């Protein structure tokens, strides 16, 4: 399989974990091959369709690809055109190459920020309407729509994982609800890659957190059974009454506040990683 963004924080964890589970991985990133990477590597820009096509051609000569895990993309809140390029154009280039080469499954790293403006409720289901909290979230919504189109047009399988706070351990009170552990991330991507005939599916990428308020049933229906719980770290979290109250208002926490309000064509603002 091809894993884009393989040199990133989540990419390095997912590549290693999937290889431990017996998957053959081709890593793809803008950066050169990391020292000691045990699989094949390609250095290319996912927003360049010719470069992506060349990666698929090279992989075909070596036996071909059976799936794509798309993790590449900026984690910052940048201008809307840059977000669209980073998340939607890259997805389009990969999808076109998949269709050309007969690759029928893609697992996409979407984000909770695709529904970040949704008010906090008892249970956040995958049936809520898209309510992005940032241009980053807008691009994730658009990428999910593109995946849905290609599922309907070409009969591929696409699983969109709306990731919460991917960190070694939770760092805030909100994180006790939104945390995705490293081990559960690997379990999630492995399940999304191996679930039979998912069609177009969306799941929430979080661990089995005691304080969780995201519906885990769509993931479990695909075989994702999270094992970790942010509550194990609750004693290490320092409460901040004002911040915690703001973070609890919307799904996207601080990204749904006025601090992120800005024109669509402005320069970069802040990072959305660990969100």
Residue 266 has a pLDDT of 78
Distance CA 98, CA 66 (A): 9
**CA-only gyration radius of the chain, Å:** 18
Condensed to tens digits (0 to 9), the pLDDT of residues 13-22 reads 999 999 999 9
Condensed to tens digits (0 to 9), the pLDDT of residues 222-273 reads 999 999 999 999 999 999 999 999 999 999 999 999 999 999 997 666 655 5
Per-residue pLDDT, averaged over 121-133, amounts to 93
Q: Model's pTM, two decimal places?
A: 0.96
Residue 268 has a pLDDT of 64
Distance CA 203, CA 198 (A): 11
Task: Name the band, by pLDDT with cuts 50, 70 and 90, for residue 275.
Answer: confident
Q: Average model confidence (pLDDT) for the chain?
A: 95
Q: Residue 134 above 80 pLDDT?
A: yes
Contact between 70 and 47 (Cβ < 8 Å): no
Taking residue 38's Cβ as centre, other Cβ atoms within 10 Å add up to: 11
Condensed to tens digits (0 to 9), the pLDDT of residues 55-79 reads 999 999 989 999 999 999 999 999 9
Distance CA 231, CA 240 (A): 17
Sequence-ordered list of residues with C-beta below 8 angstroms from that of 221, at least 6 positions apart, any chain: none
Of the residues 136, 150, 204, 255, only one is catalytic, namely 136
Taking residue 141's Cβ as centre, other Cβ atoms within 10 Å add up to: 20
136 is catalytic: yes
Condensed to tens digits (0 to 9), the pLDDT of residues 29-42 reads 999 999 999 889 99
Residue 263 has a pLDDT of 93
């Amino acid at each position: 399989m091809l894993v884009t963004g393989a040199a990133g924080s989540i990419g390095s964890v997912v590549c290693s974990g999937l290889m431990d589970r017996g998957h053959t991985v081709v890593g793809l990133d803008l950066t050169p091959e990391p020292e000691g990477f045990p699989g094949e590597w390609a250095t290319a820009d996912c927003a360049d369709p010719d470069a992506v096509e060349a990666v698929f051609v090279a992989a075909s000569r070596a036996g071909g690809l059976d799936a794509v895990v798309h993790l590449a993309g900026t984690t910052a809140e940048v201008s809307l055109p840059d977000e669209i390029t980073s998340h939607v154009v890259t997805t389009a280039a990969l999808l076109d190459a998949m269709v050309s080469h007969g690759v029928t499954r893609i697992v996409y790293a979407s984000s909770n920020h695709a529904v970040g403006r949704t008010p906090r409720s008892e249970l956040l289901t995958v049936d809520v309407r898209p309510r992005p909290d940032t241009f980053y979230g807008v691009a994730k919504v658009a990428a999910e729509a593109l995946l849905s189109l290609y599922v309907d047009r070409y009969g591929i399988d696409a699983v969109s994982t709306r990731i919460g706070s991917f960190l070694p351990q939770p760092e805030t009170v909100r994180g006790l609800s939104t945390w995705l552990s490293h081990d559960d991330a690997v379990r999630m991507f492995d399940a999304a890659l191996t679930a039979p005939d998912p069609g177009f599916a969306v799941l929430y990428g979080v661990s089995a957190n005691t304080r969780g308020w995201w519906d885990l049933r769509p993931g479990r229906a695909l075989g994702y059974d999270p094992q970790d719980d942010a509550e194990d770290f609750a004693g290490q979290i320092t409460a901040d009454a004002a911040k915690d109250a703001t973070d609890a208002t919307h799904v996207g926490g601080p990204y749904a506040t006025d601090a992120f309000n800005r024109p669509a064509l402005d320069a970069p603002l802040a990072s959305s990683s660990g969100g």
